[in-house]
Structure 1
Amino acid sequence: MGKEVLLALVNNAALLITFVVLYTAFYVKSTPSRQMPRQINSGLLLGLVTVGVMLNSWQLSPGVVCDTRSVALGLIGLFFGFIPSMISASMAVGLRILMGGEGTIPGISTILSSISVGLIWRHYRRRDPGDCSLLELYLFGIVVHIFMLLCMLLLPSQSRETFFEMAALPVMIVYPAATMIVGWAMTGQIARKQGEAAERELASTSEKLAVIVKNSPVAMVSLDLDYNVTSWNEAAEEIFGWKCSEVLGKPLPY
C-alpha cells in the first residue's frame, strides 16, 4: 500500500511540474507594464495551477485527500509575494471547502501554513528568491511539509493514524524533492527574465548615449586598443574636417 501511495504522490507531483512549466512558458515570459494587474493575473493563473493538482488528488480515505497543493502554495509565497499568494490561497481554500469531508479543516490548515511559510521565508531571506540554491529549496520543502504533517494532527483519530502510517513517509520523500525541482525551474525562469531585462536596459542606455554623442556640440572621438577610430561624431566632422566615413577603422588623423 505504501508503494501505491508513493506512486500516487509522484504522479501528482509530476502533474504540478507540468503545470508550472506551462505557466512559465506561456505567461512568465511576458512583462506587463502595470504591476498590480500583473500580480492579479499571476495569482489567478497560479491559483488555477493549485486547483488543477487538487482536482487530481489521491484519496487516502473518504474526505481525506493527498496532493501537491502544499508544494505549489509554498513556492507561490516564496517567489511571488503577498497578492498572488492571497489570491491562490483563497481559490484553494474555496475548492477544499467544496470538496468537504473530515479532511476539510486539516486541508485548509495546510493551505494556510504552506502559503505562510513561503511568505515568511521570502521576508526573512531579504534577497531575490531567484538565486535560491537547490539545497535551500530542498530545506524549504522540508519545513513546509513538517508544518503540513502538524496540520494532519487535526484529522479524526482513525484517519490520522491511517495518514501517518501510510502517507507521512512518502510525503516527506516526494514533496521536498518536488519543491526543489519546481523551485529550480522557477529560479531558472527568473534568471532568464532578469537577463532579458538587463539586455533591454543596456540597449536603451546605449541608444540614449548614442543620441547624446551624435548631437553634442563637442567633438567626441573613441579609439580601440590599436588607436584606430571607432566613433566620430558630427561635431568632430565640423571641427576637424574629416567625415566619419573617412576615419572609421583608421588611425587618428590628427
Structure 2
Amino acid sequence: SVFYGLIKWYRPKNKIYYQLIQGLWFGAVAVAAMMLPYIYAPGMIYDGRSVVLTLAGLWGGGYATIVSVALAGAYRVYLGGSGIWAGLATILFCGLTGLFFRQLFKGKLSDIKFFRFIIIGIIAHLGMLASQLLLPENEGLEVISLLWFPVLLIFPVTFAFLAKGFQFIERYIRSEQKIREAETLYRTTLQSIGDAVISTDIEGRINQMNPVAEQLTGWKFVDAKGKRLDKIFRIINEETREEVESPYVKVIQSGSVIGLANHTLLISKNGSEIPIADSGAPIKNENGEITGVVLVFRDQTEEREYQKKIARSEAQYRELVESTDAIAWEYDVLIDKWTYVAPQVTEKLGWLPEEWTNLEFWKNNIHPDERESATNYCFACAAKGEQHSLEYRFKTKDGNYIWLRDVVAVEMQENKPVKLRGVMFDITERKNTEISLKEKNTFIQTVLDNLPIGIALNKIDEGNAFYMNRRFEEIYGWKASELKDIPSFFEKVYPDKTYREKI
C-alpha cells in the first residue's frame, strides 16, 4: 500500500503508463505472496494472491488488473502441479471481482465503509473456494471442506484492512493534491492581480509579496521576506508629512478590515513618493484566530491627477455659473432633495441655498395662479424625459413675487427620471413690459371700438386685414373674420370696380 501511494504520488501524466506501472507492482507483490505459500499437497498451494489481485482490480483499474493477472498467472503456470487450473481461476476471478466493484463504486472508493470491504473480500474468496472444484477427482470438495472456514475468517478481514490502508493513502494524496492546487491557484492569483499585495505573519513579518508590491515599494520579495512590514511599507500623510501608523497594527487591534485615510503617500526604497489607497484585513485560521495580515494597495497617481482635473473643471464651471445672473440648480428625484442651488438665489429671491430642501418647498412658493399648471407641465415632461421650459411667479423670502423662466433638462435611467437640472432666469421686467403693453392694447381697442366712425386696419406687407371696429362692421355689414386678405377686403367693401381701383 505504501508503494501504491508512492506510484500514485509520482504518477506519470499518461494514464495508461500509470496503470501499467501499478499492474507491474501488484503483479510483483502477488508473485512474492506465491513464493511464501501454504502447501496443502504437492502442486496445491494457497497464499495471499487472492487478496493482492482483488486489490489490484479495485484500486488499480483495467490495465493494472490485466498486467497483474498476467504476471501472477504466468508464475502459477511456471509452478505447475495439479492445482494449476484452480490457481489460474482464482487469479482471474479475484482480479475481475475487484474490477467489478471498482466500476460499481466508481468515484466513491474513498467513501466505502469497512464492512463493505469485508463483503467484497468474502465474495472474492467465495470465488477462490469455488475455483477449487477444478482440482482433479474429488480433491476440490475435500480442500473446500478443510479450508473454507479459515479462508473466509481471515482473508476477507485481511483484505478489508489493506483496502482501508489504500483508502487512507488515497484520501491523503487527494487532500495533498487539493492543497497543492489551492496553493498554485493562490500563487497564480497573487502574481497576476493588478493591485499590490503583501501578507505578513502574526508578528508582522512579510511572508508573501507580489510583483506589483515589489514595483511600488522598490523591494524584491527575496530581500523583504522576513522583515517587518513597517520597514518595507513606509507611509506618510501627504498634507502633514507625518508618518502614518502601520495598517498591520490597526488590523491586529481591531480584528477587522480597515482602510487607509485619504492623502496617503508610500515612500519607496529609492525615496520616491507614490499616492496610494489600500485596505488591510486579518488572516484567520479555522478557529477564527488571527495568524497574520494581508495588505492590498494600489498606485493612485493617475487617479489623483484625474481627480484634480475634475476638481479644476468643477471649480471653473461653478465660477462661470455663479458669475451670471441666472440661478443654476440640480434636483435629485430619487431622494427628493435639491443637491445644488447657486448662491445667486439669495440675491434674487432672498432664500439661502440650504433652505431649498425638497420639492414641496418649490411647489408651495409658486404663485397660486400658476402652481398647478406649472407643476403638472414640469412633471409630465420629466416623466417623458423631455427638456422643457416654463414661466411662473415665485415668492421671495420677503413675500413678494418675481417672474421666473425655468429651463429644465432631465436625466433618465431605465426610462425613469432620476435628476433634473436647470437654470432660472429673472424675467420680471420683461413680464411687466408685456403686461403693460397688453393693457395699452386693450385700452386702445376699447377706444377704437367705441368711436362713431368706422375704422379698418390692413397689413399691406403681410397682405391681410387684421382689425375692423364695431362701427365699420355696422356700416359695411362685414365681419373681420370674413375678410381674410386685402383683395377680398376691397372687393367686398368697395364692390364698384371703378371706385375700388381709384381707392
Equivalent position to 1:207, from 181, 187, 192: 187
Percent identity of paired positions between Structure 1 and Structure 2: 23
The corresponding residue for 1:227 is 257
| Other structure's SS at 1:101 match | coil
The corresponding residue for 2:32 is 52
| Other structure's SS at 1:56 match | coil
Measure the CA separation in 2 of the matches of 1:178 and 1:91: 22
Measure the CA separation in 1 of the matches of 2:167 and 2:184: 26
TM-superposed CA distance for 1:144, in Å, is 0.6
The corresponding residue for 1:167 is 147
| Other structure's SS at 1:208 match | helix
Q: How high is the TM-score relative to the length of structure 1?
A: 0.77
Instruction: Give the counterpart letter for 2:57 in structure 1.
Output: G
Instruction: Give the counterpart letter for 1:231 in structure 2.
Output: L
The corresponding residue for 2:65 is 85
The corresponding residue for 2:174 is 194
TM-superposed CA distance for 1:80, in Å, is 1.2
**Greater displacement, 48-57 / 164-173:** 164-173
The corresponding residue for 2:365 is none
Equivalent position to 1:120, from 78, 95, 100: 100
Per-residue CA deviation, residues 57-112 of structure 1 (Å, 9 max, x unaligned), is 11111111101111111111011100111000000000010111111001101111
Cα contact 2:86–2:131 (8 A) shared by 1: yes
Per-residue CA deviation, residues 173-214 of structure 1 (Å, 9 max, x unaligned), is 111011101101100100110011101110111112112324
Measure the CA separation in 1 of the matches of 2:190 and 2:51: 48
The corresponding residue for 1:30 is 10
Measure the CA separation in 1 of the matches of 2:257 and 2:108: 42
| Other structure's SS at 1:157 match | coil
Cα contact 1:114–1:148 (8 A) shared by 2: yes
Measure the CA separation in 2 of the matches of 1:131 and 1:122: 12
Measure the CA separation in 2 of the matches of 1:29 and 1:46: 16
The corresponding residue for 1:76 is 56
TM-superposed CA distance for 1:26, in Å, is 4.6
Per-residue CA deviation, residues 99-138 of structure 1 (Å, 9 max, x unaligned), is 1111100110111111111111111223331222111111
Instruction: Give the counterpart letter for 1:203 in structure 2.
Output: E
Measure the CA separation in 2 of the matches of 1:84 and 1:132: 21
The corresponding residue for 1:12 is none
Measure the CA separation in 1 of the matches of 2:29 and 2:300: 60
Q: 1:117 to 1:57 in 2, by over 3 A?
A: same
Measure the CA separation in 2 of the matches of 1:153 and 1:202: 54
User: In the alignment, is residue 133 of structure 1 matched against residue 113 of structure 2?
Assistant: yes
TM-superposed CA distance for 1:237, in Å, is 7.5
TM-superposed CA distance for 1:25, in Å, is 6.0
Cα contact 1:113–1:148 (8 A) shared by 2: yes
Instruction: Give the counterpart letter for 1:227 in structure 2.
Output: V
Measure the CA separation in 2 of the matches of 1:60 and 1:226: 73
| Other structure's SS at 1:166 match | helix
Q: 1:64 to 1:133 in 2, by over 3 A?
A: same
Could you say which structure has the higher strand fraction? 2
Cα contact 1:73–1:118 (8 A) shared by 2: yes
User: In the alignment, is residue 103 of structure 1 matched against residue 83 of structure 2?
Assistant: yes
User: In the alignment, is residue 154 of structure 1 matched against residue 126 of structure 2?
Assistant: no
Instruction: Give the counterpart letter for 2:178 in structure 1.
Output: A
TM-superposed CA distance for 1:36, in Å, is 2.5
The corresponding residue for 1:178 is 158
Q: 1:129 to 1:42 in 2, by over 3 A?
A: same
Q: How high is the TM-score relative to the length of structure 2?
A: 0.40
Could you say which structure has the higher helix fraction? 1
The corresponding residue for 2:373 is none
Measure the CA separation in 1 of the matches of 2:195 and 2:12: 33
Measure the CA separation in 1 of the matches of 2:23 and 2:168: 20
Higher-RCO chain (CA-CA 8 Å, sequence separation at least 6): 1
Q: 1:60 to 1:236 in 2, by over 3 A?
A: farther
TM-superposed CA distance for 1:30, in Å, is 2.5
Cα contact 1:61–1:159 (8 A) shared by 2: no
Structure exhibiting the larger radius of gyration computed from Cα positions: 2
Q: 1:63 to 1:240 in 2, by over 3 A?
A: farther
Task: Name stretches of at least 5 consecutive residues in structure 2 with no aligned partner.
Answer: 197-250, 259-279, 281-293, 306-503
Measure the CA separation in 1 of the matches of 2:115 and 2:300: 57
Cα contact 1:74–1:117 (8 A) shared by 2: yes
TM-superposed CA distance for 1:226, in Å, is 1.6
Superposition RMSD in Å? 2.4
Measure the CA separation in 1 of the matches of 2:86 and 2:185: 53
Measure the CA separation in 2 of the matches of 1:140 and 1:235: 63
Q: 1:31 to 1:240 in 2, by over 3 A?
A: farther
Instruction: Give the counterpart letter for 1:56 in structure 2.
Output: L
Instruction: Give the counterpart letter for 1:160 in structure 2.
Output: G
